[in-house]
Structure 1
Amino acid sequence: MFKENIKTLVSMYVSSYNQIVDTLYRSAYSTNPEAFRLKDPSNIKIYVTKLSPMLGVGNSLRLYLTFEKEKNLEIELIDLTDEKHYENYSKYSSLDEFVLQKLLITTNIEQGDILHSEDISNYDEKLSTLTTEEFTDRYSQKIWQDLFHRRMLMQVSIDGKRFVEHVNHPASYYAKDAIKYSYSLLDLKAIVDTVNDEDFSYQMDQAIAAYENSLYLASCATLGVCLETLCKLLLQKKGEKIKDSDATMLDKLGQRLREKKIINYKLNSRIDVCYKVRNLSSHTSPGKVLQGDCHFIIATINEIVDTYFK
């Protein structure tokens, strides 16, 4: 009952967040959906920390919503009631900092993936005693929905301002180790680490730096170069030599990998689509179309690395 009521509460928050984004931030979201990560509940995980009664009434429960792929509002409870957790409490500047650091130590999440946090101690009794139906009825009332709206309006505003600050950085700010930033489409660090090639790493940093600054045309072109490099590395990995005179265009590399029976027909077809997408990208519509082209090439890179380099 407790967990179900938590999930119901969070679903109400997300619903309110979506309504605000769709109404006030529609244009920003259509171009850069990655700025508003709280919008998709399928990529949200819920953490609830339970604190020691020593901290006083009103500080018992903290809610954290984090960006984690395909977690679908999965809930994890973090019990911090044991006195051992408070041995070094005095070194923290605030209760918020204390709970945050304990959460980061206890889990594998990054601070940049925390999308929303708040004290939910005032819901404590209702979370534990009301049925899910009763809880839903109570907090669907207008007075509570207005409160959720105000909270999410503030959160959307924070997300919007943070994204504006992010895109106003010069490209050089992100060009080194761009794969580590929270706006990156995937966990690209794992891909780069697995391939372990200096040229490929540099090219991926450049591609994601362009993506992060909404330069999707430049990103798409550079991702095509990344894929070419990856195909050459795969040929070398399988004992094939790459001569200076050899054709290194993406379609030719994919064809050669297929002829050598290194990849199957399906993957060769995907590489060929990437080649066409990269070449035709300058003639397509801006915004989400080009962004989708970037996603397709990254997904293809991810498939090759996951299949042949691990």
Structure 2
Amino acid sequence: MYNKNIQNLVKIFNEQYNKVIGNLYEKAFQINPQAFRFSDLQNVKLYVLELNRDFFPTDWFHMYLVFEKNGNNEIEYINANDISFYKDYSDYNKESFQKNLISNNKNYDERDFIFSIGLTVFIEYLELSEEDFFQRISIQTLNLYNQMRDLVSKQAREFQKHSNLSAGYYAKNATKYAYSLLDLQPIIDKVNDEDFTYQMDQAIAAYDQSLYLPSCATLGVALETLCKKLLIHHKDKVKDSDATMLDKLGERLKEKNIINYKFKKRLDICYKIRNMASHTSPGIVLQSDCHVLISTIHEIVSTYYKDDFK
């Protein structure tokens, strides 16, 4: 309906958000960019709610910005005009009611809700041409900057609160708190292995506290666990005396045609990263090194751990 100008409005908010980061939080952003979930519109999904005006007379047109990998600033409309939505309205407060509409059949965590915007007050802007929209909305820029400053400050405090907690706190349910690129809980559930779960919990707990060296080393151990389980599943015995480093495990998996050549090369890269982290070789273990291991773990389970995997 108003798609283009709604997306333009979000882009303006995003520009002000990143301006705040550049002015006040540049160092924090460099250390942990994932804490600032509105910095990249590629990972933002827009939910526009049309609510019943009898229950929401002044704010019936509302939008939530949600962190979603590859959301691409795309819009999904939810029409909640029908009275059937409001049978139990008295049981909800306004915000939880709206979030429930969005979270239905979605796996969003509370932290994935970045912020919301009442669009009712912007309707006259949304109906304009793009050129007129940008001319009219420019007078709001200072106010938008102040709003985004408050949001960035809140996210920075939230991340600081998490980073000050002990690793043991995160390890109880690491994927709930991890500022990671992929949703790891389905992977952990699919593997369903106590050792692997513990390894991933510890690795992500370290990652969340910017301890990338131990995180990288532990992710390497978790990847080795996956490779051994894959060999065992294909009736290949893994003895305690066998070499269980990633490069050797990768060779065995490739020799038995369990994995393809391309994935073998990925394991070789992971082996080098893991080896560097485990033996504190020269060079800095970067956050991106953890991402390589996490994405490889995600892919090996998604590709080779079938539904009948035990």
Do both proteins adopt the same fold according to a TM-score greater than 0.5, normalized to the shorter chain? yes
**Residue 112 of structure 1 contacts residue 182 of structure 1 at CA under 8 Å; is this kept in 2?**
no
Distance in 2, Cα, partners of 1:9 & 1:284: 46
1:118 aligned counterpart, secondary structure = strand
Distance in 2, Cα, partners of 1:106 & 1:82: 19
Q: How does 1:1-310 map to 2 (within 5 A)?
A: 2-55=2-55, 57-92=57-92, 94-105=93-104, 107-127=106-126, 129-139=127-137, 141=138, 143-181=139-177, 183-281=179-277, 282-283=280-281, 286=284, 289-310=285-306
Deviation at 1:37, TM superposition (A): 1.2
More helix by share: 1
**Residue 42 of structure 1 contacts residue 70 of structure 1 at CA under 8 Å; is this kept in 2?**
yes
**Residue 125 of structure 2 contacts residue 136 of structure 2 at CA under 8 Å; is this kept in 1?**
no
Query: Partner letter of residue 3 of structure 1?
Result: N
**Residue 104 of structure 1 contacts residue 111 of structure 1 at CA under 8 Å; is this kept in 2?**
no
**Residue 180 of structure 1 contacts residue 188 of structure 1 at CA under 8 Å; is this kept in 2?**
no
2:238 aligned counterpart, secondary structure = coil
Deviation at 1:108, TM superposition (A): 4.6
**Residue 46 of structure 1 contacts residue 64 of structure 1 at CA under 8 Å; is this kept in 2?**
yes
- Deviation sequence 1:21-72 (CA, Å, 0-9, x none): 1221111111111100110100100011122222464212221100111120
1:37 aligned counterpart, secondary structure = coil
Distance in 2, Cα, partners of 1:56 & 1:184: 36
**Residue 227 of structure 1 contacts residue 301 of structure 1 at CA under 8 Å; is this kept in 2?**
yes
Query: Partner letter of residue 132 of structure 2?
Result: E
TM-score of the superposition, structure 2-length normalised? 0.92
1:258/1:100 Cα in 2 relative to 1: closer, same or farther (>3 Å)? closer
**Residue 178 of structure 2 contacts residue 208 of structure 2 at CA under 8 Å; is this kept in 1?**
no
1:38 aligned counterpart, secondary structure = coil
Distance in 1, Cα, partners of 2:35 & 2:95: 24
Aligned residues: CA RMSD? 1.8
Give ranges in structure 1 of 5+ residues lacking alignment: none
- Deviation sequence 1:97-126 (CA, Å, 0-9, x none): 332333333755332211111322211233
Distance in 2, Cα, partners of 1:79 & 1:109: 19
- Deviation sequence 1:223-272 (CA, Å, 0-9, x none): 01001111101111111011122111221111221222222222222212
TM-score of the superposition, structure 1-length normalised? 0.92
Count of aligned pairs between the two proteins: 304
**Residue 17 of structure 1 contacts residue 153 of structure 1 at CA under 8 Å; is this kept in 2?**
yes
Distance in 2, Cα, partners of 1:182 & 1:88: 34
Give ranges in structure 2 of 5+ residues lacking alignment: none
2:49 aligned counterpart, secondary structure = strand
Distance in 2, Cα, partners of 1:227 & 1:9: 43
Identity of aligned residues (%): 49
Deviation at 1:176, TM superposition (A): 1.4
2:54 aligned counterpart, secondary structure = helix
